[in-house]
Amino acid sequence: MAPLLEQLRAYTTVVSDTGDFNAIKQFRPQDATTNPSLIAAAAEKSDYASVVDDVLKQVRKDAGPAASDKEVAAKAFRPLEVAFGLKILEIIPGRVSTEVDARLSYDIDKSIAEAREIIALYDKAGVSRDRILVKLASTWEGIRAAEILEKEGIHCNMTLLFGIHQAVAAAEAHATLISPFVGRILDWYKKDTGKDYKGADDPGVQSVTTIYNYYKKFGYKTVVMGASFRNIGEITELAGCDLLTIAPKLLEELETTEGTLPRKLDPAKAQTMDIQKIPMDKATFDKMHAADRMATDKLKEGIDGFSKAIVDLEVVLEKRLSAISEPAGAAR
């Protein structure tokens, strides 16, 4: 028998869900993805102090002497996440996902502008657009922004995706990739019903399976990357999914667990399934979203959570600015 992680790689592209460079080096994923929470956690580690400090010094220089620490910190999120993305791209062979500010999730024009600015920073660093995925929340507005960006050659990763309506809309918009959140769906159902779920009964696993089969049945080019896992049982039930983004702790568990891992998701099998096509427009999207309590709750909660994480990161960066602005020899 071989480690589960080795077998999983035969069916599925493994993506690292972390901003920790050391963890990425250890588990050798094809791709990597980050979000504000992961960047904030990494930014507070001494290992990455030089990355953070270099970005803050450059942003302060660009902002000018009149800018306050608070203003500089607010401007630093985008260049900081790109700086982390550039470091990650030195390690992995594939793509890194970089997130549009979640506070823009219901604004098409501002989301597009932010995405273009992210890509401009990578362009300036000489990185091909084929190695970048811009992450957008799967609101109707976020999906519309992705549709425009994809036409410009900017590849999009639709995050905070919980329902089939979001998945269908994203595929119709020709988004490159979607990230349905398996563990967060499980969390909602456990809280709502008081039940525990395992294996194929896990509502998050069922949601991703439904989306995967729908995409393969109708030949959509958008690929599915299951995300937000609570245990390796969720991961093994989705063996065969296009991609799975997995936190270091669960990657380690998969690497140290041996057993037999059969393929669960298969495009050939999906082709034979009796699945009804869902015509999608804004009215249908809104109606389906309102009818799905879980998707409604988790999308709002996710946007609020990512928005708070950016605010928290700005506080960390403001404190860091004060520290690096102190005269040499000052107490720290």
Tokens 């096509």 identify what position? Answer: 277
Which has the minimum average pLDDT: 251-255, 277-281, 320-324? 320-324
> Position 264: which residue type?
K
Say yes or no to pLDDT of 328 above 80.
no
What does the pLDDT look like over 213-258, one tens digit per residue? 999 999 999 999 999 999 999 999 999 999 999 999 999 999 999 9
Of the residues 61, 135, 216, 217, which is catalytic? 135
> Position 112: which residue type?
I
Instruction: Report the predicted TM-score, pTM, of the whole model to 2 decimal places.
Output: 0.93
With both helix axes pointing from N to C terminus, report the angle between 36-43 and 293-325 in degrees, rounded to the nearest 10: 30
Q: By C-alpha distance, which of 160, 259, 138, 267 is closest to 214?
A: 267
What does the pLDDT look like over 54-94, one tens digit per residue? 999 999 999 999 999 999 999 999 999 999 999 999 999 99
* DSSP secondary structure string for all residues of 39-100: HHHHHTSGGGHHHHHHHHHHHHHHH-TT--HHHHHHHHHHHHHHHHHHHHHTT-SS-EEEEP
Side-chain-facing half-sphere of 41: CA atoms under 13 Å: 9
The domain limits of the chain are 2-325
The verdict on whether 135 is a catalytic residue reads yes
Report the CATH fold assignment for 2-325: TIM Barrel (3.20.20)
